[in-house]
Amino acid sequence: MIKLNEVLSELEKILSPNFKIVKLDMNGRHVYIETSVDKLIDAAKYLLSIDGRLIHITASDEGYKGLKLIHVYGLDHLCINSHIILQTYLSREHAVAPSISKITYQVLWAERETMELLGIKFDGHPDPRHIFLPHEWPDPVESKAEEWKPVKVGKKCVLPIGPYHPAMIEGGYFKVKVDGEEVIDVDIKVGFNHRGIMKLAERRSFWKDIFLVSRVCGICNTPHALTFTMAVEAIANITPSDRAQYIRTLLAELNRIHSHLLWLGVAGELIGFKTLLMWAWKIRENVQDCTELLTGNRVHMDAITISGVRRDINDQQIRKAREKLKDVKKEVEKLAEIVVSHGIVRARTEDIGILSLHDAKDGGAVGPTARASGWKMDVRKDNPYAAYSEEYTTWDIIVDEGKDVFARTIVRVKEILVSIDICLQCLDALKRISGPIKVEVKGFPEGEAIRKTEAPRGELLYYVASNGSNIPKTVRIRTPSYRNISALIFMLKGYSLADAPIIIGSVDPCFSCTDRVIIVDDKRGKKAILSYNEFMKGLALKKLEV
Pick from 28-32, 93-97, 165-169, 406-410: least confident: 165-169
Residue 528 confidence class, pLDDT cut points 50, 70, 90: low
> pLDDT value at position 152?
61
CATH number of the 147-194+484-545 domain: 3.30.390
Residue 511 has pLDDT above 80, yes or no: no
- At residue 533, what is the residue type? N
Q: Does domain 197-478 have CATH number 3.40.50.1370?
A: no
Kindly provide the b/e burial profile for residues 465-482, where b requires at least 16 CB atoms within 10 angstroms of the residue's own CB: bbeeeebbbbbbbbbbbb
CATH number of the 4-142 domain: 3.30.460.80
Report which of 162, 121, 161 is spatially closest to residue 141, judged by C-alpha positions. 121
Pick from 61-75, 157-171, 471-485, 509-523: least confident: 509-523
Residue 514 has pLDDT above 50, yes or no: no
Q: How far apart are CA 54 and CA 105, in angstroms?
A: 10
DSSP per position, 423-489: HHHHHHHHHH--S-SB-------EEEEEEEEEETTEEEEEEEEEESSSSEEEEEEE-HHHHHHHTHH
> pLDDT value at position 218?
84
End-to-end CA distance of the chain: 61
> pLDDT value at position 517?
34
> pLDDT value at position 509?
86
- At residue 427, what is the residue type? L
Residue 310 confidence class, pLDDT cut points 50, 70, 90: very high
Report which of 81, 439, 440 is spatially closest to residue 245, judged by C-alpha positions. 439
Domains 4-142 and 147-194+484-545 share a fold: no
Secondary structure of 131-146 in HEC code, one letter for each residue: CCCCCCCCCCCCCCCH
Question: What are the residue ranges spanned by the domains of the chain?
Answer: 4-142, 147-194+484-545, 197-478
Report which of 85, 77, 83, 82 is spatially closest to residue 382, judged by C-alpha positions. 77
**pLDDT tens digits, 162-182:** 655 333 345 677 888 888 889
Report which of 469, 504, 495 is spatially closest to residue 207, judged by C-alpha positions. 469
> pLDDT value at position 145?
52
Report which of 471, 479, 426, 473 is spatially closest to residue 452, judged by C-alpha positions. 479
**pLDDT tens digits, 424-481:** 999 999 999 999 999 999 999 999 999 999 999 999 999 999 999 999 999 999 999 9
Answer for the pair 463, 72: CB distance below 8 angstroms, yes or no.
yes
Residue 195 has pLDDT above 80, yes or no: no
Burial category of 307 from C-beta neighbours within 10 Å (exposed 0-12, middle 13-18, buried 19 and up)? buried
